[in-house]
């Protein structure tokens, strides 16, 4: 039996028309201004992102998250240039013109306000924020929760219809500074700071979330719960019944690595497994 969210107004169902959704990640090539960006190749970046989106959509996913994963090494929110938000807005608009499935925005690292601005202007339904409450130490340094400023900014630009998908105990960082708070409490903090959905992850991109941690988070909140890393055709059967959604990328790309193109055949094969597991909408 599914243990998905029992919350009366499930934001996942409101956005996608069902629960147990599959959301593909469009890992955009480098934006202008980032170290790996090559001069005058932004059209190539657009085309690569649009091609990945097309393959996800043709393969049958329920939604997409568009993020600037090519901008390695990531910087803190206050150091992200206007050109990054502009570039992601252009790419999102191009993808929006080609599909009507729900879109989300994630601006790395942890830039909730630029993500909300892009979502508002380009017609995305939600944003992902990796550190919404509390703080942690990441590759970028000390990262603080964005909830207080982001919610005020969302109100200021009249974007209350853009939902917040927030990670709890997020990957790529250490939570030693809040080690006195259990995973259960971290999830409750995210909910207390008005997130609309909670995301559980593994330790890094491509690593699977542990089933016991998924269950701990499931028991800690009535908010919708998604897994945000490490989903594969082999573990989808054990994960999906516990969740309201899965966020997937690496397993659907050539060679199973995040920086390669999305393969339509991999998406179709994965979605065939999903259809055999989840109930009809």
Could you report the per-residue pLDDT of 27-47, keeping only the tens digit for each? 999 999 999 998 878 999 999
- pLDDT band of residue 1 (cuts 50, 70, 90) is very low
d(CA 21, CA 24): 10
Please state, in angstroms and as integers, the Cα–Cα distance from residue 31 to each residue in 38, 51, 69, 233, following that order. 9, 17, 9, 31
Establish if 4 belongs to a structural domain: no
Average pLDDT over residues 246-267: 96
Average pLDDT over residues 110-135: 96
Residue 2, pLDDT > 80, answer no
* Cβ atoms of residues 199 and 167 within 8 Å: yes
Establish if 136 belongs to a structural domain: yes
Q: Which positions ≥6 away from 71 have C-beta within 8 Å? A: 30, 31, 34, 36, 84, 108
Average pLDDT over residues 266-274: 98
If one counts the domains in the chain, the total is 1
* Cβ atoms of residues 158 and 205 within 8 Å: no
Residue 92, pLDDT > 60, answer yes
- Percent of the residues in the chain that have a pLDDT greater than 90, as a whole number: 80
Residue 211, pLDDT > 70, answer yes
* Mean pLDDT of all residues belonging to the chain: 91
Residue 34's φ and ψ, nearest 5 degrees, are -85, 155
The confidence score (pLDDT) of residue 128 equals: 97
Q: 10 Å Cβ neighbour count for 43? A: 8
The encoded tokens of residue 273 equal 């497994």
The encoded tokens of residue 21 equal 């959704």
The confidence score (pLDDT) of residue 139 equals: 84
DSSP β-bridge partners for residue 143: 136
Provide the whole-model pTM.
Answer: 0.93
* Domain hosting residue 138, numbered range: 11-274
The confidence score (pLDDT) of residue 41 equals: 85
Q: What is the pLDDT of residues 165-193, one digit of tens each?
A: 999 977 555 555 666 678 899 999 999 99
CATH of the domain at 198: 3.20.20.70
When comparing pLDDT for 238 and 178, which is higher? 238
Average pLDDT over residues 5-12: 67
Establish if 279 belongs to a structural domain: no
When comparing pLDDT for 249 and 135, which is higher? 249
Q: 10 Å Cβ neighbour count for 137? A: 13
Establish if 105 belongs to a structural domain: yes
For 70-102, give one letter per residue: b (16+ CB within 10 A) or e.
bbeebbebeebeeebbbbbbbbbeebbeebebb
Average pLDDT over residues 109-130: 97
Establish if 280 belongs to a structural domain: no
Residue 6, pLDDT > 50, answer no
Establish if 16 belongs to a structural domain: yes
Establish if 31 belongs to a structural domain: yes
The confidence score (pLDDT) of residue 175 equals: 55
Establish if 2 belongs to a structural domain: no
Q: What is the pLDDT of residues 63-87, one digit of tens each?
A: 999 999 999 999 999 999 999 999 9
DSSP β-bridge partners for residue 25: 65
């Amino acid at each position: 039996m599914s243990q998905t969210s029992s919350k009366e107004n499930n934001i996942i169902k409101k956005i996608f028309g069902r629960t147990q959704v599959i959301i593909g990640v469009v890992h955009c090539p480098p934006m202008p201004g980032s170290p790996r960006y090559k001069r005058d190749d932004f059209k190539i970046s657009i085309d690569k992102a649009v091609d990945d989106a097309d393959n996800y959509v043709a393969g049958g996913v329920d939604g997409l998250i568009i993020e600037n994963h090519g901008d390695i090494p990531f910087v803190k929110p206050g150091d992200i240039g206007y050109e990054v938000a502009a570039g992601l807005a252009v790419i999102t608009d191009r993808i929006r013109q080609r599909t009507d499935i729900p879109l989300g925005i994630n601006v790395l690292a942890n830039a909730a306000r630029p993500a909300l601005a892009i979502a508002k202007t380009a017609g995305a339904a939600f944003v992902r924020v990796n550190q919404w409450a509390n703080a942690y130490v990441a590759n970028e340094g000390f990262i603080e929760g964005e909830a207080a400023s982001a919610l005020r900014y969302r109100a200021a630009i009249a974007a209350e219809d853009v939902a917040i998908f927030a990670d709890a105990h997020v990957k790529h960082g250490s939570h030693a500074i809040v080690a006195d708070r259990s995973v259960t409490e971290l999830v409750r903090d995210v909910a207390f700071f008005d997130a609309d959905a909670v995301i559980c992850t593994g330790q890094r991109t491509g690593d699977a979330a542990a089933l016991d941690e998924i269950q701990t988070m499931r028991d800690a909140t009535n908010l919708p719960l998604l897994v945000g890393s490490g989903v594969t055709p082999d573990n989808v059967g054990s994960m999906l019944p516990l969740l309201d959604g899965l966020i997937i990328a690496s397993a659907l790309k050539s060679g199973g690595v995040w920086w390669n193109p999305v393969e339509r055949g991999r998406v179709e094969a994965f979605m065939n497994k999903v259809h055999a597991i989840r109930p009809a909408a």
